[in-house]
Amino acid sequence: MADCSWGQATPELKEYHDHEWGKPQHDPQKLFELLCLETYQAGLSWQTVLKKRAAFREDFLQFDPELVAQMTEPDLQKLMQDPRIIRNRLKLTDTVINARAFLTIEQTEGFDHYLWQFVEGQPIINRPIVESEIPAQSPLSQLISKDLKKRGFKFVGPTIIYSYLQGAGLIDDHLVGCSAKSAINN
């Protein structure tokens, strides 16, 4: 058995795969950052997003949701001029909208608690044999997507949310023989 092939394609993907993807994440700011980055991936590759992550962090104030929620139209206009990031007007606007929705959850119940309650606090461990066995979405991602939309989030369809759940470690889809798989229930 081999490592997940997508995670070996480039040095950036290898670093992300080996040290972040599928590892349980509980830090609210990192969960917010990952959600934002997943929205930018839609229609693009994760490699593209990773190459621009440092610039995104700079432009979105280290993804501090309180600061992002306060961004205004002039701030967004400035971001539209930055070639270091993905300049999709809708996604930029939705990042600010999502920061506000995120803060509502964070202030009422904590986003970490909100998210992890869907899996009863424990990652779902899958061990597919080949990458083609990994779905693009699931009933869980459909449920969370629907709930997030109800709470005012944008650009959070079930495919984006499935990828988000993988990245945040709520779903661990490392292949059976992958050396980077989570230490939980190998």
Q: Which residues are catalytic?
A: 16, 38, 46
Residues in the chain: 186
Straight-line distance from the first to the last Cα atom of the chain, in angstroms, rounded to the nearest whole number: 14
Residue 24, C-beta contacts closer than 8 angstroms, at least 6 positions apart: 123, 168, 169, 170, 182, 184
Q: Which amino acid is at 11?
A: P
> Rounded to an integer, what distance in angstroms lies between the CA atom of residue 66 and that of residue 32?
11
Cβ atoms of 182 and 172 closer than 8 Å = yes
Q: Which two tokens stand for residue 155?
A: 């650009």
Residue 67 gets which letter from DSSP? Answer: H
Give the alpha-carbon dihedral of 178, 120, 38, 108, to 10 degrees.
Answer: -150
In three-state secondary structure terms, 43 is coil
